[in-house]
Amino acid sequence: MSVVTEISPDGQKLTISIRGRFDFGRHQEFRESYERLNRTPESIVVDLKEATYLDSSALGMLLLLRDHAGGDNADVRVINSNSDVRKILAISNFDKLFDIS
């Protein structure tokens, strides 16, 4: 499985881990990882530690996640991104929309 989800015991935090390529082939799996929940958690973390590739469709998926979580009021963080991914996110100005570390 390329998209692994973990919800905290209190249901307040969702962690979505991406393994391998984060591209259009992960679209359905990624969307289901947060849409299948009964309610939106207070915070969402996208862990890219094991992501090897990220393309423009992945950026779109992150935007859809942000909108689903509440838009400007959402607490969505992108963590463990490698330097190449961090550069793509910065060039796309995603550092203004997400907390990236």
- Domains with residue ranges and CATH for the chain: 1-98 (3.30.750.24)
For residue 27, what pLDDT is reported? 95
Q: Locate tokens 């307040």: which residue?
A: 12
Contacts of 6 (CB under 8 A, 6+ apart): 14, 15, 17
Say yes or no to pLDDT of 97 above 70: yes
C-alpha to C-alpha distance for 42 and 47, rounded to whole angstroms: 16
Tens of pLDDT, residues 31-86: 999 999 988 899 999 999 999 889 999 999 999 999 999 999 999 999 999 888 88
